Amino acid sequence: MEQQIQNLENKIESLEKEIKRLCEICSRMDSHITFVETTYDKFKYPLNVIKGKVEGIFGGNAIENN
């Protein structure tokens, strides 16, 4: 019985370490997503202007077909 308890405690400790590691990874991913969204928000309007000009020159379907 004591060995079973020790095995369970070891498994719990292992799970706690894995959860901590996953939380760190998720935190980094969240930071990356925030960075990408912030960067996109800054360039969204200029990119749409350029896209509109290119579509005006080549027509809206030319970009979609390529």
pLDDT digits (tens, 9 = 90+) for 43-58: 999 999 999 999 888 8
User: Is the pTM of the predicted complex or chain greater than 0.85?
Assistant: no
What the block records as the tokens of 13 is: 């400790």
- Give me the pLDDT at residue 59, please: 77
Rounded Cα–Cα distance for residues 51 and 17 (Å):
48
Q: Which residues of 30-63 are buried (b: 16+ CB within 10 A; e: fewer)?
A: eeeeeeeeeeeeeeeeeeeeeeeeeeeeeeeeee
Mean pLDDT of 21-42: 93
Q: What is the per-residue pLDDT for 26?
A: 94
Span 2-26, pLDDT tens digits: 999 999 999 999 999 999 999 999 9
